[in-house]
Structure 1
């Protein structure tokens, strides 16, 4: 996914520089990107001939030509009305502007934004792809640690690596139940378009399916959902991602998928709440969101469907519900590959993550015969602001993975000194189905000692504290569950 051409980078830099103008209005980075999304949506519709989706009174020029308080008041009315189904019938417009509010209080700041947007090189932006421009903004926001956006922004080199290995195909239903800003869905779409000459090799019906029905998912956070829909639209994908909680009954409505690509949120459900899905059996009693998302993904895959999921270490080693889930997963699916990711690639430095690659079996028993583990964590550089993750960092893993998206290519275990090893289902069972398998020396401690940027050091400390708090929350939830069960047993005995 190329967001790095000189022209695109220049436009992104100009747009991003405006966020400093808005600090006097008390607007943070994340809020700025949301605010910018409202304005860019209007401008991009004007640039692409799509303004028929809007009421005449609320198109770009009617806003941009105004001055002072009149412009700010008009903008506030516009945001309210564009999210009102009595005023607007277009579903995408309504979704982007639902509950939209501006944080701008100074007319001069709104004028600075509209004037700067008008001055951008829109001809070049259209030529290079408006989606690339918007992706660049999202990436800039995620790289800014103060925004906290890195929590839901998966690094693009990692997304591209996963998509190349899992090989999305035309005609497949592709989902992300925790879509964030739609990075996985956009990358999958670009992979399919590259293989089909931008869909021109497909029939008209097939191309329509790709644009309107191939991609779906859910995003719970309202502002992130707006960014998601905007990103999809600018890449030629209409809607598809709904504003719901996948761990609620609404998640069942997503339907079945051929391919699921996702990076679910880390941590526990707010307030320690459990999933409310009636079809959940393995994770019904846990508030650990990652475990519950794994159950959702397995249940959402069609027989033979495949998935690649980014998950924290605790999913691999947690006992009780975690162990039951892993045993269930390896029965129903062929969990063929685990990629142990380096630390520091997400905004929370202390979070240790993995990618699990698996395929839903045709039967429900004994699908995993062996698990291949690639350790990209031990003896790796200290990733962070001074050493960002790149596509080349995954080259050796991709070579080991092979050409079969379901892990069926010829592979070789090179022994304890290599990064890629095979563990039979019996070996995993002997470990009580603990999949947190490491055999190389993990030099994370030394790597963190090598951090030099104050922001990276602070992020590492915060990451460790956050991970520790989440472990405590999970343990507390498990203990509460055990206490509840004990009370029920005593009541039954009485």
Structure 2
């Protein structure tokens, strides 16, 4: 994948050219999405989907102010007059470019790339590499939409999506989970060639679907899916509003809902939840376990507060453990997401055939204590998940017979088993810690001020959410 890496680096370096035009990182990637869409359509012989007169060569043949004016006209035209995904990708599009010389630089630089080699290695990998680059750039703020690839791969490998299964991501971001699930199925089936024609069509057009709230991020997800041959419904909408009720029940849900209370568009407005809450993560969790078919399975990234928050949080956890077999929790290392202080976990669970008593035991794997601080210097890789994956086992559903094969490693090990009764006795809290931090001679290193501030903010938000819940139960009006 050397060529892909080189192209991603060249495209990313062009961002430096645009700083004089006041372009932010996120605006730059969105800008590249429009231009790369036009260029890739030409390179892949799919320009017929773009109306004549508004294609790559029409743009590249112009110069100066004429080129910039035509580019603006092209965006409006394709966003209103084109059809299908072309129209959706260009919906409400506008350019942040103000200087004609910068558009010319972008067009010429894109034209000069080694497109033959890029096609051979996969245009989808090229685009995803660009999204990853943007996510890793702290100033871009895009990390909230991009889950580290090593973590996505781990979750997909353990959940094992299969042909003919419906796979949903209700907080799709740039589409990473759906892309990886599609790749997993294609590797199982010789790029779908082992499947009957009807199933191949299902895999391309129906198997993978989801919803994304932020329009620019939705645009990136559509482009990403298109370049990977995925045509399923990637909807623009708020899963925590009535929009979310339109998502069909799934065999598999893989997702990383947005953290905090600022992202996500206000208090959830779904009226079909059993436990109304202003905590978005708890609301997403309800959507996920309610959105699984009987026997369906999920892996979801959630912050620590979901594991211990009281009041409605306890009710939702109890409901989850009734309706689903919550068989595994993975405590993730710190520093792998954009907000350093956020502590996260992956919950693995399977929807029961009945709605009562499905969780008999919960296994917790601690991949956080005595682990390095991840970030730009120490990258999270597949190797960091190998021992957990081996301990998890081969059964994606965590059925009772497969759990008997697991080994509780004791209070000095990373993998422990806890009965449902034991969890209930501690108020249904799943924030389970047993390992001692042995860094710095047994005393924990003092986190940097930003991490401390983020952690304090998270605790305050959790407390505020609980107070809001109490006020709501008392019938008081709560300001948003």
TM range (shorter): over 0.9
Q: Tell me the CA shift for residue 484 of structure 1.
A: 3.1
For residues 432-474 of structure 1, the C-alpha deviation after alignment (integer angstroms, 9 at most, x for no partner) is 10000010024689998488xxxxx575355335424533542
Q: Distance in 2 between matches of 1:327 and 1:177?
A: 22
Q: Which residue of 2 aligns with 1:425?
A: 420
Q: Which runs of 5+ in 2 are unaligned?
A: none
> Where does 1:290-439 land on structure 2 (aligned, <5 Å)?
290-408=281-399, 409=402, 410-439=405-434
Which residue is equivalent to 1:490?
Answer: none
- Residue 306 of structure 1 aligns to a residue in which SS? strand
1:61 corresponding residue in structure 2:
57
Matches within 5 A, 1:165-176: 165-176=158-169
Q: Which is worse superposed, 462-471 or 332-341?
A: 462-471
Q: CA RMSD in A?
A: 2.0
What is the CA distance between 1:274 and its match in structure 2? 3.3
**425-434 or 471-480, which deviates more:** 471-480
Partner of 2:18: 22
Distance (whole Å) between structure 2 residues aligned to residue 74 and residue 97 of structure 1: 15
Structure 1 residue aligned with 2:257: 264
Moved more, 457-466 or 236-245: 457-466
Deviates more, 1:91-100 or 1:194-203: 91-100
Determine the C-alpha separation between the residues in 1 that align with 2:107 and 2:265. Answer: 43
Aligned equivalents of 1:461, 1:486: Cα separation in 2: 32
Q: Deviations over 1:41-60 (max 9, x none)?
A: 11000100111111111100
Measure the CA separation in 2 of the matches of 1:203 and 1:406: 26
TM-score of the superposed pair, with normalisation by structure 2? 0.95
**Distance in 2 (alpha carbons) for counterparts of 1:414 and 1:66:** 67
Is the 8 Å Cα contact of residues 366 and 414 (structure 2) preserved in structure 1?
Answer: yes
Q: 1:201-220 deviations in whole A, cap 9, x for unaligned?
A: 00110000000000001000
TM-score, normalisation: structure 1: 0.92
Q: What are structure 1's unaligned runs of at least 5 residues?
A: 452-456, 488-494
Q: C-alpha separation between the residues in 1 aligned to 2:380 and 2:412?
A: 24
Cα offset, 1:151, TM superposition: 1.1
Partner of 1:491: none
Aligned-partner Cα distance in 2 for 1:46–1:276: 43
Q: Distance in 2 between matches of 1:225 and 1:338?
A: 29
Deviations 1:76-119 (A, max 9, x none): 001111110xx212x20111111111000000000000000000
**Would you say how many aligned residue pairs link Structure 1 and Structure 2?**
473
Pairing of 1:281-292 with structure 2 (within 5 A):
281-282=274-275, 284=276, 286-292=277-283
CA contact (8 A) 1:229 1:239 kept: no
| Map 1:74-223 → 2, pairs under 5 A | 74-84=70-80, 87-89=81-83, 91-223=84-216
Structure 2 partner of 1:454: none
Closer, same or farther in 2 for the Cα pair 1:118/1:316, shift >3 Å? Answer: same
In 2, are the aligned partners of 1:216 and 1:240 still within 8 Å (CA)? yes
What SS does the aligned partner of 2:325 have?
A: strand
